[in-house]
């Protein structure tokens, strides 16, 4: 009986190795291991002299902005930028996020090394033309603030699987979509950066709804611009 148990266990281990090890290796090679496991392995996060942690590379993306031009993560190479997910007809948290993002824009207006990426989660409605009108409405002035649209499934993958910032459709809520009010901070090398909370843990993302979160990300943008 013991021999049969050992044979069965060996078979399970062999099957696991055949199925999962190649996937793990591919994730490591592509760097996507950071996307799914960003919250884990906190000890692997590097802390810079300015106190900010490096979480890992931000997901790559390529979308269309309010000027109907292609914009990707490479567009922001060499720049510090803030990224959010929103939609123009949002009746709840987006107006607050928009207001706070405009205040961040104004703080760094004229600095060519700073940018903003606002990705809509309702691209079926938020076309480039709609986003251009919305940008004018809320006070977008910076040429480095791109409001982005594209394929809905692709955008949801960037949000949920890439950044692990929740976004989804829900016809039971006002506006038909739900999402977080978080801002992601990315450095000049394309890495997600953040500060620690009072317990010494990485906050990962910044609260885009509260003054404390906006103050914190503004302070940390300045630190990254000086790196």
pLDDT digits (tens, 9 = 90+) for 141-162: 999 999 999 999 999 999 999 9
The predicted model scores a pTM of 0.80
d(CA 34, CA 47): 16
Confirm if 182 and 207 have CB atoms less than 8 A apart: yes
The CA-to-CA distance between both ends of the chain, in Å, stands at 64
Tokens describing residue 141: 């002035």
pLDDT of residue 46: 75
Residue 139 has pLDDT above 60, yes or no: yes
The pLDDT tens digits of the residues spanning 91-122 come to 999 999 999 999 999 999 999 999 999 999 99
pLDDT of residue 44: 59
DSSP assigned state of 60: P
Sign of CA dihedral 46, 36, 25, 19: positive
* Residue 158 CB contacts under 8 Å (≥ 6 apart), including other chains: 59, 61, 119
Q: Which of 109, 113, 63 is nearest to 85 (CA)?
A: 63
The pLDDT tens digits of the residues spanning 53-94 come to 999 999 999 999 999 999 999 999 999 999 999 999 999 999
Dihedral angle over CA of 8, 13, 14, 15, nearest 10:
90
Phi and psi at 81, nearest 5°, equal -145, 160
């Amino acid at each position: 009986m013991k021999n049969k148990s050992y044979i069965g266990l060996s078979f399970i281990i062999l099957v696991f190795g055949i199925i999962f090890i190649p996937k793990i290796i591919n994730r490591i090679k592509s760097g996507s291991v950071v996307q799914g496991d960003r919250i884990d392995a906190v000890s692997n996060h590097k802390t810079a002299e300015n106190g900010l942690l490096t979480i890992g590379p931000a997901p790559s993306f390529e979308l269309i902005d309010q000027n109907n031009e292609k914009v990707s993560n490479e567009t922001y190479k060499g720049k510090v930028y803030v990224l959010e997910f929103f939609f123009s007809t949002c009746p709840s948290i987006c107006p607050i996020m928009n207001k706070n993002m405009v205040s961040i824009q104004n703080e760094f207006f004229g600095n060519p090394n700073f940018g903003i990426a606002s990705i809509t989660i309702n691209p079926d409605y938020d076309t480039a033309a709609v986003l251009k009108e919305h940008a004018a409405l809320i006070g977008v002035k910076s040429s480095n603030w791109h409001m982005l649209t594209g394929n809905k499934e692709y955008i949801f993958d960037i949000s949920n699987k890439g950044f692990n910032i929740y976004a989804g459709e829900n016809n039971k809520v006002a506006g038909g979509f739900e999402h977080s009010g978080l801002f992601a901070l990315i450095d000049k090398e394309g890495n997600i950066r953040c500060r620690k909370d009072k317990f010494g843990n990485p906050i990962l993302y910044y609260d885009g709804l509260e003054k404390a979160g906006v103050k914190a990300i503004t302070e940390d943008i300045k630190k990254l611009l000086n790196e």
